[in-house]
Structure 1
């Protein structure tokens, strides 16, 4: 992000005024639009608020902006030859859409990381560079010739990738399927989005875990769905809760993350899996199984997915390349009845005409290569090492202040704070100390929880990050 040059002979406030004028003239801030606050710009440009006030004064003197007490600072409508009657109200367009923005905490975390990339990151749910198979994928790209055709591919996904997934799912997940029953997506979130928008209808009732990653995705509310909670304990959801919700609300679908659940890290017990499948089969309710973390099992034996136990076709299975290899390639998949795959592929074609062919070829070749098995073993070892470092640091710095259950897989440690602390204060003070995490309330939970994600954090940063968090927590308790 742009910042003023402190070595320049031009005053900081003049640099900021010139920068804002350029953004205004390029249409980033149209006539009549509201500018960010003085405080926010001061944080963004890493200057004193008085410097931004001087920059605003310079722009006001040129008639470029105008300020009103209680209404903030806006771009002038007269300076640019525009009048309110012919200037679109872009703020109303931005705020009036049915598609809701991300939760405020997630937007604040993204903003903080953009402003200060050196923050110790316990928030991002992706693998660090040392855990990704970068060298292996580079070697594959050198060794293999890629198609010379760079046009649109099948909206259902590349056939070679789907065929590779048939073998991969059978070998690693115990799921028997066919290429025609697989839809390639840009990741788990697109799979969930397609289901919410194209299979369900506004007003439909669905059940999701509590806490759950799904609560952090406003796509469900944007689709007009009614969300009902399935509380998660140390063994996952209680299957009988599904029956109760069906009787009371006629839920039409259940969304589950049964293996190393995000955010709690819990594993749905085998007994409950069987009971759950019996209940949804009896009621005729489909289950969407999101399974991004199974192959991270630290014990080396991945838990069985619900889909591999599904004898009645009740489970839509979602997987992703992001959590086991490389998020930047944007490859996910869904296993579903062919009628559903066709419906969602048609919707995908309306959105983007299908994914880029080259990442699909790369991922298909990686799945069929000798690199896959050794990479997964290194991934498990690396994640377990980071998890253990995190737990050691918490035991040292936060003993008596935090409770948790040690996960046997996944990327997250779910923690309950014993003192009652405001989520917003804890996050803001932590950002000032150089760390970010996700407050538990983002996931629908009660106040007093935090999710520490250790996949992105460098091993040498973990102890320092937790010591900073402990310092903030103790200061807020006093």
Structure 2
């Protein structure tokens, strides 16, 4: 499945120029400006028709015109590509950027992930897979007050020290202490979200050709932070209580991993919460074997009825755990503020690499985040968000019960964003993904989180409005029941 190009041009039927000719000239302009380069594959005729909002015969006429001018080549086995020969006949030959694109060492996103990333910003889409808060749940009014206060005292606009703003690290240290995690400001690094933290860890702490244990399914399979660094990921089984710790020592003996990555609280995508017993067993195994643990705590603040068990880091007297936190899920993805807490030597190593990549997260965002904590906004906001998420979760569970009983089964999340839905009637998630997208509903197939998964989809109740949730689930139910 090839991700779609970003096409924001729609031919105008009121112009005297035929629609197919407008499309042909648009594509020709992209080629002549060097934006669409020789060797680049075009989307299918059906995908182009959807992008330009015309019928397929119009696209065929446009492509025929481009082919007659030598600008595209059509190979029925390999699709339609921008022609190299056509360019050579018209102008100075272009540099073959397609070879560069295919040669870079950083892994591309999975095709489905690229399609999701591009489709999320369509105005006509219902986002049933998006893992972020809806715009109405973002704390706009609170941040308006914060930025008003910052404006009165002329905030720093320069670079900050390698670990990040000391005021913010002090505030995060206090925030972590409330969770029984002892981390001084010197043992905390400010990052631009959890993803950057994982990239820094992969580059700075893990040797090439080493291995990492990871829950399966896991969010980590949907990105390539570790694979691009030459690190092998080994999936471990999970159930509703999280990682099967009884299997851990066998996996350690067989694979000699450098690290275990886990989301113990409201796991992405399954929503599972690792039990208190298994958390203790995991720490004991780490102490017995010397296994380092990377704990992703992104969703832990978003509990519904009762607080989850203490984090792994709170049980870690021997400093086996690196603890990642972020404001992206519970507060604002646009703030781009996260952190890593761990031994100071590790934090200094990661900070040195960070300075080589971006020279520090936004100083203005860090000042705002420090006030977010110190002015008491965080707890007030979380109470509001939890109430809204509970309401939306209950709505989706009710819709699923009324429309998909017997055709699917699902968890009842106790926090976080996600419902891990298992299809029981033979519908393939990838097929459902494509059919739903064609009807304006975007979801996440389970193969993103486990490439062998042919049963699950991940639903998020966090982003879509309640009206959109109802429309989206009803569309989903129809597509599942009538494949």
Q: Give the CA RMSD over aligned residues.
A: 1.8
Cα distance in 2 for partners of 1:405, 1:47 equals 41
Equivalence for 2:127? 121
Matches within 5 A, 1:258-297: 258-297=264-303
TM-score (norm 2): 0.93
Q: Do the aligned residues in 1 keep the contact of 2:419 with 2:460 (CA within 8 Å)?
A: yes
Q: Do the aligned residues in 1 keep the contact of 2:420 with 2:459 (CA within 8 Å)?
A: yes
Q: Following TM superposition, by how much is the alpha carbon of 1:109 offset from its aligned partner in structure 2, in angstroms?
A: 2.3
Q: Following TM superposition, by how much is the alpha carbon of 1:441 offset from its aligned partner in structure 2, in angstroms?
A: 1.7
Query: Is residue 349 of structure 1 aligned with residue 359 of structure 2?
Result: no
Cα distance in 2 for partners of 1:306, 1:223 equals 26
Matches within 5 A, 1:418-429: 418-429=424-435
Q: 1:393 to 1:156 in 2, by over 3 A?
A: same
Equivalence for 1:77? 87
Q: Do the aligned residues in 1 keep the contact of 2:410 with 2:420 (CA within 8 Å)?
A: yes
Matches within 5 A, 1:67-216: 67=74, 70-71=77-78, 72-75=80-83, 76-83=86-93, 87-114=94-121, 116-145=122-151, 147=154, 149-171=156-178, 173-216=179-222
Partner of 1:473: helix, strand, or coil? helix
Q: Following TM superposition, by how much is the alpha carbon of 1:38 offset from its aligned partner in structure 2, in angstroms?
A: 3.0
Q: 1:103 to 1:73 in 2, by over 3 A?
A: closer
Q: Following TM superposition, by how much is the alpha carbon of 1:359 offset from its aligned partner in structure 2, in angstroms?
A: 0.9
Query: Is residue 54 of structure 1 aligned with residue 61 of structure 2?
Result: yes
Q: 1:80 to 1:317 in 2, by over 3 A?
A: farther
Q: Following TM superposition, by how much is the alpha carbon of 1:300 offset from its aligned partner in structure 2, in angstroms?
A: 4.8
Q: Following TM superposition, by how much is the alpha carbon of 1:11 offset from its aligned partner in structure 2, in angstroms?
A: 2.0
Cα distance in 1 for partners of 2:9, 2:366 equals 35
Q: Do the aligned residues in 2 keep the contact of 1:122 with 1:457 (CA within 8 Å)?
A: yes
Structure 2 unaligned regions, length at least 5: 1-7
Which digits, 9 at most, give the CA deviation of each residue in 1:140-177, with x for residues without a partner? 11122364542322232112111111111112x22111
Cα distance in 2 for partners of 1:231, 1:126 equals 26
Q: Do the aligned residues in 2 keep the contact of 1:205 with 1:249 (CA within 8 Å)?
A: yes
Q: Following TM superposition, by how much is the alpha carbon of 1:33 offset from its aligned partner in structure 2, in angstroms?
A: 3.8
Partner of 1:317: helix, strand, or coil? strand
Which digits, 9 at most, give the CA deviation of each residue in 1:290-315, with x for residues without a partner? 00111111025343111111111000
Which digits, 9 at most, give the CA deviation of each residue in 1:324-370, with x for residues without a partner? 11001111110011111111111111111111111111111111113
Q: Do the aligned residues in 2 keep the contact of 1:32 with 1:77 (CA within 8 Å)?
A: no
Q: Do the aligned residues in 2 keep the contact of 1:38 with 1:49 (CA within 8 Å)?
A: yes
Return 219-228 or 243-252, whichever deviates more: 219-228
Q: Following TM superposition, by how much is the alpha carbon of 1:117 offset from its aligned partner in structure 2, in angstroms?
A: 2.6
Cα distance in 1 for partners of 2:350, 2:182 equals 21
Matches within 5 A, 1:301-316: 301-316=307-322
Which digits, 9 at most, give the CA deviation of each residue in 1:391-423, with x for residues without a partner? 000001001111122111010011111122222
Cα distance in 2 for partners of 1:69, 1:104 equals 21
Partner of 2:113: helix, strand, or coil? helix
Cα distance in 2 for partners of 1:38, 1:79 equals 26
Equivalence for 1:243? 249
Partner of 2:87: helix, strand, or coil? coil
Partner of 1:254: helix, strand, or coil? strand
Q: Do the aligned residues in 2 keep the contact of 1:29 with 1:35 (CA within 8 Å)?
A: no
Structure 1 unaligned regions, length at least 5: none
Which digits, 9 at most, give the CA deviation of each residue in 1:360-397, with x for residues without a partner? 11111111113222111001101111100000000010
Q: Do the aligned residues in 2 keep the contact of 1:412 with 1:451 (CA within 8 Å)?
A: yes
Which digits, 9 at most, give the CA deviation of each residue in 1:210-241, with x for residues without a partner? 11111111222222212112211111112232
Cα distance in 2 for partners of 1:147, 1:80 equals 56
Partner of 1:221: helix, strand, or coil? coil
Q: Do the aligned residues in 2 keep the contact of 1:207 with 1:229 (CA within 8 Å)?
A: yes
TM-score (norm 1): 0.94
